[in-house]
Amino acid sequence: MTDIAADLTEERRTTDFDDLVHTGPDTLAGRYLRSMWQPVYHGVDLVAGQAKPLKILGQRFTLYRGETGTPHLIDPDCRHRGTTLSAGHVEGDAIRCFYHGWKYDCDGQCIEQPPEQSRFAGKVRLRSYPVREYLGLIFAYLGDGKPPEFPLHPEFAHFDGLLEIDSYQRRCNYFQNLDNALDHCHLGFVHGSAAATVGDVLGRSIKVKESDWGVTLTFSRESDGKLFVSQFGMPNMLQLATLPVDPEIGWLESIFWWVPIDDESHLQFSLHRVPATGDTAKRAHERRQARRQEIDLAHQDIAEEILGGRMRLADVDPKRCDVIRLQDDVALVGQGRIVDRRHDLLGTSDVGVAMVRRTWQRELRAFAGGRPQKAWRKTPAVRPAVWGLGADPNQATDTAAAPQIVDVRPFVEIGVQMKELGVAFAEPGGR
Ligand code: FES
Ligand SMILES: [Fe+2]
């Protein structure tokens, strides 16, 4: 286990095109991620009239939902004497500081200073950030200037069925999970029986190619030549058909994002398109909700026990823990919180990992040099495929009904996330 953080000077962190892992506000990779919309929160976790602390990309914010229902994101602390605004009172679409009542509108403009004789509210402003709620998630643009066009995912927005929303936190750098998503060969070793469903995805059968959206990974099955295709979307997304998790539901088309909380922790957000209706949907929904309750062990904590040698994977009750996530925790957190990639020995099975890293480095160079970057777009050709089965994309039309949005996160996971995303306030000197 190694930690690259200690080896990197401040200068190298901000200029090194190989540094894909540090994502604070002053880092190159951090500024690149901020130049695109990122999911940052579950809409269901933000109640109208309430504010929450949020740490994302190593930066603190106050996120609140106005009494009108609109979400807003602003700098974290009051400009007066620094009390966190997440402790304040939401009034309409504005927020009032808990300490002396300075009030800010949703653009961050101070509009009231109750205790002041000579008022200078007009000169006081916090930064606010564009947000948009879409498919049950709150997306934010944390970059400078005008945000780019908001990327839509109509195949998840218009179909008859359930849209399951899930997420988890993992205690390692986000790029380790991103690498892992491009590495289908780990399935047989890490996930055992789950891999049997996917079939032979050995390294020798992988082909990679740059797409309009990112990188296309194609696996061909030796027995019948059928293809498994997953689509990586620059800079931190993946779309593919995932394993069935319900006996009545076939392959699920899914999209994932990996978003840093800080450099040693990140969130995976995911949307699953479940094209089930009527009684089938009702039964699947009930089973998924029952599973949320059943899981009462945080996979993050169990992984630490296993990596610390105090427990074995075989000792874990699979009913009480999300074992797939736990298995990936052991593999990825087991690399160290931030892996030092200079020691990697990549083989042919790592061709997807290598290509995405190279693409990132190329784009970082262009970004740093102020040159145009590739405008990544999910064109019709960018489709996943799964051994010729399921994942029917053609049901999505702009006129189809919106799916029912269903939160499927285990309740224990929600507790972990609330703690991690608000962690800056539990730390001495967190500001
Ligand atoms: S610290 Fe916010 S009003 Fe004084
Ligand atoms: Fe995995």
Give the residue whose CA is nearest to atom 3 of ligand 1.
Answer: 100
The whole-number pLDDT of residue 183 equals 86
Residue 191 CA to ligand 2 center (angstroms) comes to 7
d(CA 417, CA 54): 10
Both tokens of 307, joined, read: 């990596």
At 192 the pLDDT is 78
Q: How many CB atoms within 10 Å of residue 292?
A: 16
Residue 425's pLDDT band, with cuts at 50, 70 and 90, is low
From the CA of 81, give the closest atom in ligand 1.
1
The full DSSP string for 381-415 is T---EETTBS--GGG--TTSPPPEEEE---HHHHH
Q: Range with the lowest mean pLDDT among 31-45, 124-138, 383-397?
A: 383-397
Residue 405 CA: distances (Å) to CA of 25, 42, 164, 243, 365:
33, 11, 6, 20, 39
Identity of the highest mean pLDDT range in 15-19, 91-95, 250-254, 281-285? 91-95
Residue 303 C-alpha from the chain's centroid: 20
Residues with CB under 6 A from ligand 1: 78, 80-81, 83, 97, 99-102
Residue in this structure with the two tokens 């051994």, named with its chain if needed: 387
CB 275, CB 392: distance < 8 Å? yes
* Average pLDDT for 218-241: 89
CA distance 21 to 312: 30
Average pLDDT over residues 406-430: 80
pLDDT at 119: 82
Residue 394's pLDDT is: 46
Q: Which residues contact 318 (CB under 8 A, 6 or more apart)?
A: none
pLDDT surpasses 80 at 299: yes
Q: Rounded distance, CA 105 to CA 114, Å?
A: 15
Task: Select the more confidently predicted residue: 197 or 216.
Answer: 216
For residue 392, what pLDDT band results from cuts at 50, 70 and 90? low
Average pLDDT of span 105-110 = 98
Average pLDDT over residues 392-418: 81
235 three-class SS: coil
More confident: 88 or 397: 88
Residues 253 and 156: their CA atoms lie apart, in Å, by 9
Pairing of strands 162-170, 404-407: parallel
| The predicted structure's pLDDT at residue 324 | 93
Q: CA-to-CA distance for 212 and 233, rounded, in angstroms? A: 9
pLDDT at 215 over 90: yes
What's the rounded mean pLDDT across residues 381-410?
76
Ligand 2: distance of its center to the CA of 59 in Å?
Answer: 28
* Sign of the alpha-carbon torsion through 15, 17, 20, 21: negative
Topology of domain 41-133, CATH: Rieske Iron-sulfur Protein (2.102.10)
Q: How many angstroms is it from 196 CA to the middle of ligand 2?
A: 13
Residue 87: nearest ligand to its CA?
Answer: 1
Q: Please, what sign has the CA dihedral across residues 350, 354, 360, 361?
A: positive
- Of the listed ranges 150-159, 245-254, 266-275, the one predicted with least confidence: 245-254
Q: Above 90 in pLDDT, residue 9?
A: no
Specify the pairing of strand 131-134 against strand 265-274: unpaired
Percentage of the chain lying above the pLDDT 70 cut: 88
Q: Could you tell me the pLDDT band of residue 69, with boundaries at 50, 70 and 90?
A: very high
Using the atom order of ligand 1, give the atom closest to the CA of residue 88: 2
Residue 127 Cα to ligand 1 midpoint, Å, equals: 16
Supply the residue whose CA is at minimum distance from atom 4 of ligand 1. 100
For residue range 317-345, what is the model confidence (pLDDT) as tens digits? Answer: 999 999 999 999 999 999 999 998 888 89
pLDDT for 289 beyond 70: yes
Mean of the per-residue pLDDT values of the chain: 88
Q: Which atom of ligand 1 is nearest to the CA of 100?
A: 3
Ligand nearest to the CA of 121: 1
What gap in Å lies between CA 378 and CA 317, rounded to an integer? 40
Task: Among 1.10.260, 3.40.50, 2.60.40, 3.90.380, name the CATH number for the domain at 154-423.
Answer: 3.90.380
Q: Is the pLDDT of residue 424 over 80?
A: no
Ligand 1 atom with the smallest distance to the CA of 113 is: 3
pLDDT at residue 148 above 90? yes
Q: Which of 335-344, 388-397, 415-424 has the highest mean pLDDT?
A: 335-344
How far is ligand 1, taken at its centre, from the CA of residue 317, in Å?
A: 49
Contact 119, 97 (CB under 8 A): no
What is the predicted pLDDT for the residue at 189? 82
Give residue limits of the domains in the chain.
Answer: 41-133, 154-423
CA of 154 to the centre of ligand 2 (A): 27
CB within 5 A of ion ligand 2: which residues?
328
Protein residue whose Cα sits closest to atom 1 of ligand 1: 81
Residue 398: per-residue pLDDT: 56
Q: Which mutation among 75, 81, 86, 89 tests ligand 1's pocket best, with the greatest number of atoms within 8 A of CB?
A: 81
Assess contact for 191 and 185: CB atoms under 8 A.
Answer: no
- Closest ligand (CA of 124): 1
**Cα(258) to centroid of ligand 2, in Å?**
14
Instruction: Return the ligand 1 atom nearest residue 98 CA.
Output: 2
- What is the distance between the alpha carbons of residues 222 and 152, in angstroms, rounded to a whole number? 36
pLDDT band at 389 (very low <50, low <70, confident <90, very high): low
